[in-house]
């Protein structure tokens, strides 16, 4: 016998956040999210997305009151208005291997979505394209990234039995770090500098980030506009993510490209892998989590590609070569072994072609599902 409880108290919010950490405590491939970040995402006082989203969280409890599942729901009213849709998103779904729990969670979210006259459920998706999204369907025996979702194989089996269909797939790749910089990268970098007047900008102080961040996110909005589930960031969301970037980014791993008129036309962010640091710290900053994260930032041999964006007017001209050239030198200094891409839509062939010369290996696939009701 299972019952549903809506998350309304701080205690239940913590139980919601910590449930997957307990569920996967013995799983060698699971990497917890930073608990304080997960709490902040669902705090309307901290996350501006709540101003245009209806949000709910539920726990599934057994007869003794133990948490056996969780699920969140998001209705992005602005995106629905623009796309003329009636779509809700399921988010943060985790449960024990009992389809009765999964069915209870899904039915609860459907009932909630219907109360707002929604007719479609997709996900797992987050508030924005920068949030955690996509249910793992391949690659269960590889250590997860710090910024993505891990789940057991039975998750997608449960959803498919309940009538969900594939809506979109993302893949993640492992890319060898080259021993020497590819001549092609150097050649294209010099060409775009002379032909288009492109130039690479590296920052000397984190205080400079806000100066470039708004233009960078505007470029991001334009570049990602037509991708699955994308909703442009407004000024408040740009500021929200800028603060997050300033907390964790290393200046060696953030790049901006300007054109001959000093207009920002591309940017990219990489990060040292924080997966092991977060795993050892169980998603907590204290007592040792902060130390482990700082250590990983200083000494590392794996790089995570967070995201890159090029203004559509400047795509296919070679601007990425400038980022890749300096990125190679930064990695060479640290003896980087390989890099991991974040989730890339399988249809996003342009970005996947950038890795062709680096022995790319697809190591994970994740999926967004759809259910009409």
Digit-by-digit pLDDT tens for the chain (373 residues) are 899 999 999 999 999 999 999 999 999 999 999 999 999 999 999 999 999 999 999 999 999 999 999 999 999 999 999 999 999 999 999 999 999 999 999 999 999 999 999 999 999 999 999 999 999 999 999 999 999 999 999 999 999 999 999 999 999 999 999 989 999 999 999 999 999 999 999 999 999 999 999 999 999 999 999 999 999 999 999 999 999 989 889 999 999 999 999 999 999 999 999 999 999 999 999 899 999 999 999 999 999 999 899 999 999 999 999 999 999 999 999 999 999 999 999 998 888 988 988 999 999 999 999 999 9
| 3-168 fold | Aminopeptidase (3.40.630)
Task: Return the biggest CA–CA distance within the chain.
Answer: 70
Q: What's the CA gap between 203 and 338, in Å, rounded?
A: 24
pLDDT at res. 354: 85
Q: What long-range pairs does 334-337 form, CB within 8 A, spacing at least 24?
A: 334/299, 334/300, 334/301, 335/301, 336/177, 336/300, 336/301, 336/302, 336/303, 337/177, 337/301, 337/302
Contact (CB, 8 A) for 135 and 159: yes
- Which residue's entry shows tokens 């390989």? 338
Residue with tokens 């609860």: 108
Phi, psi of 298 (to 5 degrees): -85, -45
| Token pair 């000397």 in the structure block, residue | 204
| Residues linked to residue 174 through DSSP beta bridges, in sequence order | 340, 361
What's the pLDDT score for residue 351? 86
Q: Rounded to an integer, what distance in angstroms lies between the CA atom of residue 260 and that of residue 155?
A: 50
Is 74 in contact with 42 (CB distance < 8 Å)?
Answer: no
pTM: 0.95
If you ran DSSP here, which 8-state letter would residue 28 be given?
Answer: T
What CA–CA distance (Å, rounded) separates 175 from 268?
17
Residue-level pLDDT at 93: 99
178-336 topology per CATH:
Aminopeptidase (3.40.630)
Residue span(s) of the chain under CATH 3.40.630.30 come to 3-168, 178-336
């Amino acid at each position: 016998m299972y019952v549903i409880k809506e998350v309304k108290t701080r205690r239940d919010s913590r139980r919601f956040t910590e449930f997957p950490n307990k569920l996967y405590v013995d799983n060698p491939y699971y990497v917890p999210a930073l608990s304080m970040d997960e709490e902040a995402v669902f705090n309307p006082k901290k996350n501006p997305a709540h101003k245009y989203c209806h949000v709910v969280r539920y726990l599934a409890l057994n007869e003794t009151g133990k948490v056996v599942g969780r699920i969140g729901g998001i209705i992005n009213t602005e995106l629905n208005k623009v796309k003329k849709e009636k779509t809700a998103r399921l988010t943060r779904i985790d449960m024990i291997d009992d389809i009765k729990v999964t069915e209870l969670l899904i039915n609860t979210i459907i009932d909630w979505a219907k109360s707002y006259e929604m007719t479609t459920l997709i996900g797992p998706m987050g508030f924005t394209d920068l949030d955690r999204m996509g249910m793992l369907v391949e690659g269960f025996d590889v250590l997860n990234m710090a910024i993505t979702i891990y789940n057991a194989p039975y998750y997608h089996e449960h959803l498919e039995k309940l009538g969900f269909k594939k809506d979109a797939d993302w893949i993640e790749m492992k890319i060898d770090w080259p021993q020497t910089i590819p001549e092609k990268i150097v050649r294209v970098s010099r060409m775009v500098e002379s032909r288009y007047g492109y130039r690479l900008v590296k920052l000397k102080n984190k205080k400079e980030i806000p100066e470039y961040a708004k233009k960078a996110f505007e470029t991001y909005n334009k570049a990602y506009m037509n991708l699955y589930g994308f909703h442009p960031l407004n000024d408040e969301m740009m500021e929200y993510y800028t603060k997050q970037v300033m907390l964790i980014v290393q200046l060696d791993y953030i790049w901006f490209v300007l054109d001959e008129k000093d207009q920002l036309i591309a940017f990219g962010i990489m990060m040292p892998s924080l997966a092991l640091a977060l795993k050892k710290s169980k998603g907590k900053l204290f007592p040792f989590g902060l130390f482990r994260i700082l250590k990983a930032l200083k000494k590392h041999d794996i790089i995570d590609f967070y995201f890159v964006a090029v203004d559509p007017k400047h795509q296919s001209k070679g601007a990425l070569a400038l980022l890749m050239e300096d990125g190679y030198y930064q990695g060479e200094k640290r003896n980087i072994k390989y890099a991991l891409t974040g989730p890339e839509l399988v249809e996003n062939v342009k970005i996947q072609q950038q890795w062709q010369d680096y022995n790319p290996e697809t190591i994970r696939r994740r999926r967004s599902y759809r259910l009409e009701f």
